[in-house]
A and B are shown apart, each in its own frame.
Chain A
């Protein structure tokens, strides 16, 4: 009875929030309430099947529909997807294996550049024959290739540094990421591999192999409208695959070995866990997730340069994992979603609102102090300018009041 009521409530909530968002496409709050429906799905005690169905409905049908009304929503959703995938990858290294990695963005950068170089005319600069850009069909080959290359670079970085522990390892990973960034920044001479700080453009987008099918059904969608939807579904599939892989690894001897290493390396070894091999595997799996997202990111952006892969990116993803709850898959997802929404929507939305107030020239009357014209509000008050500060404050408050994160790992309940 209770679960039926919950299901009904959920359906009603989703319907209302989607309708509101549909008819008020400019309202940030309306879209936020749609996003909140997914969080609600996680918490409400409805049957598993219902939850999966409703989640799929929101993600596969409702969000794309809303996105075709307001394209910015799709952009937000794609960004969220990218960060969720990165956070899930880092969560394996930091949350499961317990190795602090401050340079996670390096793996993301390497494979973003991989597709950027070969999926654009850039490769002509060092491979003669005018073969490049490769046809968009190669995108999927590179996506698969990036998983392998990511795993290999992860393991290669792991090999020399996994003897280090804690702080020392963190410093080395930080250095690694800076080396990668410096390389892409400077490898424009003697041979122009990366085009240096000017970045690479235009990068091929993935092939629209399904377009004939759409035409067949009489759907004529312009490419400008189609590509955001396409990327949205690509990242959705990628994120779902990553979640599935992570869950299966977590609930196996590998996931248990990872956590055992995190808890006590010596005891883990004494219990028969091959510590070095398991750490390498963790590094490789995490890196392969980041790599796959990197390829997608390059194709989506069309233009990339070293600026996209700074230390702050690594720290940002780490903060998402920590805020969400280290070692917890729902935590990493929530952390990445929350922080991305905060940056892209909440703070920007507040700035817009404040700007609106300023331009309206309204007067604020405070008793005893007189009135104050809002048009005099200094531009420095714009919340978007305080993105990092607000973010930092949230981090500090979280670490004081909920150091284990919003959704820390849960234990199996009794059957």
Chain B
């Protein structure tokens, strides 16, 4: 049974058909990539999936449960969390606080409990901090936990976004261009991290990526979008030889130079 199942998702903004009947399935334990030229609807699909947009048509099932009409926070609580293409950290909060916000849906202390500082509150808060530190460690940010998020370097900010997304203890992690602007070494390190996450922290990852080395190196499955339509799907090797994909996105020469 698929972890995530999208069926016929369409989204229109005025005269622009951003998504046209996109279907997609994601299995447990899988890393899948979403590729396509700019404006193909990749981020729109993420926004639809996380409840920021409501799809005009189609169904979204996550663990056999429909996500249609749910607010973003409910979807996060249900087990999907994401990062953003243009980094959206809480700049004037510390690294640790950023990760702790990610845990909001997992912390349950009530208002009286918080005001009276109940034992439950202390237990939860300590556990949350412990787990936050673990995630900060995992994303190689140890030692920076008390710095403001805006003081981090670009690469560190990208990693903090991943740590924050993981804090919500998701089953499915959505990464929007996680290696954008990174050099080869940094991208390699992230790929290693993603493999480590599967099975340990999340059940599956869906990523949007333009870096073909990352896409081809890590994906179990690649989905290609163009003008809001899915034009191809398959194993990385199949997709890279698909004539429609080459025409729409990859271009002829892309593999000769650096693959």
Contact = CB atoms under 8 A, between A and B. Distances in A.
B238 interface: no
A22 to B, nearest CB: 39
A272 B73 contact: yes
A220 interface: no
A248 B114 contact: yes
B100 A256 contact: yes
B123 to A, nearest CB: 13
Interface string A243-280: 00100110011101101101110111111111100000
A411 interface: yes
A167 interface: no
A215 interface: no
A414 interface: yes
B96 A412 contact: yes
Nearest to A327: B92
Contacts of B96: 412
A49 interface: no
B45 interface: no
B188 interface: no
B146 A256 contact: no
A123 to B, nearest CB: 33
B52 interface: yes
A260 B90 contact: yes
Interface stretch (B101-109, B177-185, B194-202): B101-109
Contacts of A411: 94, 146-148
Given A256-B104, A264-B90, A270 B81 contact: yes
Nearest to B76: A272
Contacts, number: 103
B52 A253 contact: no
Interface SS majority for chain A? helix
Contact of B109 (A252, A256, A414): A252
A189 interface: no
B52 A266 contact: yes
B115 interface: yes
A260 B94 contact: no
Interface string B72-94: 11001100011010001111111
In this complex, the member of A245, A252, A268 whose beta carbon has the largest number of chain B beta carbons within 10 angstroms is A252
B168 A272 contact: yes
Interface in A359-415: 409, 411-414
A269 B73 contact: yes
B249 interface: no
B50 interface: yes
A395 to B, nearest CB: 22
In this complex, the member of B102, B109, B164 whose beta carbon has the largest number of chain A beta carbons within 10 angstroms is B102
A271 B73 CA distance: 7
B127 interface: no
Contacts of B76: 270-272
B101 A266 contact: no
A273 B90 contact: no
Contacts of A270: 50, 52, 72, 76, 81-82, 84
B143 to A, nearest CB: 9
B104 A249 contact: no
A253 B72 contact: no
A271 B222 CA distance: 26
B97 interface: yes
B109 A248 contact: no
A260 B84 CA distance: 15
B125 A272 contact: no
Contacts of A245: 115
B94 A271 contact: no
B66 interface: no
A378 to B, nearest CB: 48
A249 B97 CA distance: 14
A272 B104 contact: yes
Contacts of B106: 272
B100 A274 contact: no
A275 to B, nearest CB: 7
20 contacts: A252-B109, A252-B114, A252-B125, A254-B111, A256-B101, A256-B104, A259-B90, A259-B101, A268-B101, A270-B76, A270-B81, A271-B101, A271-B104, A271-B164, A271-B165, A272-B77, A272-B104, A272-B168, A274-B73, A409-B92
Interface of B: 50-52, 71-73, 76-77, 81-82, 84, 88-94, 96-97, 100-107, 109, 111, 114-115, 117, 121, 125, 128, 146-148, 164-165, 167-168
Closest 9 CB pairs of A and B: A272-B105, A272-B76, A263-B90, A267-B88, A269-B72, A260-B101, A252-B114, A253-B107, A274-B73
Given A271-B102, A272-B77, 16 more contacts: A245-B115, A248-B114, A249-B115, A252-B114, A252-B121, A253-B128, A254-B111, A256-B93, A260-B104, A263-B91, A269-B73, A274-B71, A274-B73, A327-B92, A409-B92, A411-B94
